[in-house]
Chain A
């Protein structure tokens, strides 16, 4: 089963990810799940504001319902002024348009951000939510203790195999960023759980670059850590790099329809950095009585 999964993913990465910048179009299918991904954004500086503005412009043609936040949501303090300058003001047009944000915690975040309603964290450092046929698992990679590991395993197990399983958290399991790089120790702990329970895609931040990693053990990995911060020249493209960027701030757009995930990574100025269509491996369907609510 695992071999089949790997084969499908490998084929998918070579055959399906072929869209050229000017050709890429989201299908905008009815009932699809549309969202954006941003990471390391909460600087309150021009780069964040310009990226947020671009997200709003794009939202007119690609109306995403929500945004996943990959941590470092509020840098440099947690006063009300910080929340305003680094979240409420830059994303006001999106918030006013009814776009919801779902945050994970980075190493620059006060854990009490979990109490901030617009972050939709359910008053917890780690939580899960479902949109259409996608189940999201939001982890606190700052503090991967036994309790969180047990929670993750139970949630993934209970989720069954019918839905997409997407995990996101701050520290990347795979990264070609020169500053931080792959979180090897964390990978050793949680990747076996991801593989065991069929996680399809993982999003992280921390390194201030964009990188799409070649599928690893049948899982798609994205690093989006440049939606506010940026470290020019920090991406040391390596054997794991499928696509990457370290020259401008970026954000991701994703549409999931059935077993296909369409994605596009745009820069602050609207240039396309990456795009493609990834296919979810075929799995044995769950019996009608099993699975999540």
Chain B
């Protein structure tokens, strides 16, 4: 009985290997020399991935340059330490914002979020909102007090007293990491880069956040 079973298993293995080998040869002989649809998709995905990486790299270089400027301007002001006097905090914030404005008087939209960077952010945001976590990301924004009528321009201060819309953590984790001087914000449907210490709009991408939350 055991001998029969062993023979059956051995024969089965030989047949499986032989058929696999034929199938493999047969498949190989039928493959066209050009790439199949899946390979094309994969190549396209890789190309988009590379473009996204390049766009984010460009963005990070611009951010680094901005932070260098921020540090230089902040260095020209008296150092602010934790204080019991709120006016010192607001004065510092206002003075820093003013000096940064003066240091980049012609700053305009797209200087940090360049065209390549904008495309990269758009790809990531679209994928996130259309992907399996999209519903949760939309819920996060809906629960996080989305703004309705705020229009910000580069070099303007973030309006005092206006709440921050919660940025979906899943999205945040896919965006390039930022130095502590700057942060991402969602303002209505715009993605805004804000100078945290100066409370200043550094750049923004208009209408990039889907409106179906």
Contact = CB atoms under 8 A, between A and B. Distances in A.
Interface of A: 75-80, 82-84, 107-108, 110-112, 114-118, 121-123, 141-147, 171, 180-181, 183-186, 188-189
A238 B169 CA distance: 26
Interface in B139-187: 139-140, 143-145, 160-161, 163-170, 172-173, 177-178, 183
A275 B164 CA distance: 34
B169 A189 contact: yes
Nearest to B133: A185
A207 to B, nearest CB: 9
Given A78-B89, A185-B168, A186-B169, 6 more contacts: A78-B86, A80-B85, A116-B83, A122-B82, A143-B183, A185-B133
B139 A112 contact: no
B140 A185 contact: yes
A111 B86 contact: no
A189 B167 CA distance: 14
> Which of B81, B144, B145, B178: most chain A CB closer than 10 A?
B144
Which 9 residue pairs of A and B lie closest in terms of their CB atoms, listed nearest first? A83-B86, A77-B161, A80-B86, A76-B161, A144-B169, A185-B136, A80-B87, A117-B82, A180-B143
Interface string B193-210: 000110100000000000
Interface in B87-145: 87, 89-90, 92-93, 133, 136-137, 139-140, 143-145
Interface residues of B, number: 38
B80 interface: yes
> Which of B89, B143, B173: most chain A CB closer than 10 A?
B143
A186 B178 CA distance: 20
Given A78-B160, A145-B177, A188 B136 contact: yes
Contact of A118 (B84, B136, B139, B196): B84
13 contacts: A77-B161, A79-B86, A79-B90, A82-B86, A108-B161, A110-B160, A112-B196, A142-B166, A146-B172, A146-B177, A184-B140, A185-B136, A185-B168
Contacts of B145: 107
Given A83-B86, A111-B196, A142 B93 contact: no
B161 A75 contact: yes
Contacts of B85: 80
B167 A142 contact: yes
Contact of A145 (B80, B161, B166, B172): B172
A219 B164 CA distance: 28
Nearest to B168: A185
A208 B156 CA distance: 32
B78 to A, nearest CB: 13
Contacts of B139: 184-185
A171 B81 contact: no
A117 B83 contact: yes
Contacts of B144: 107, 171, 180
B166 A171 contact: yes
B163 A183 contact: no
A171 B165 CA distance: 12
Nearest to A147: B177
Contacts of A123: 81-82
Contacts of B83: 115-117
Contacts of A188: 136
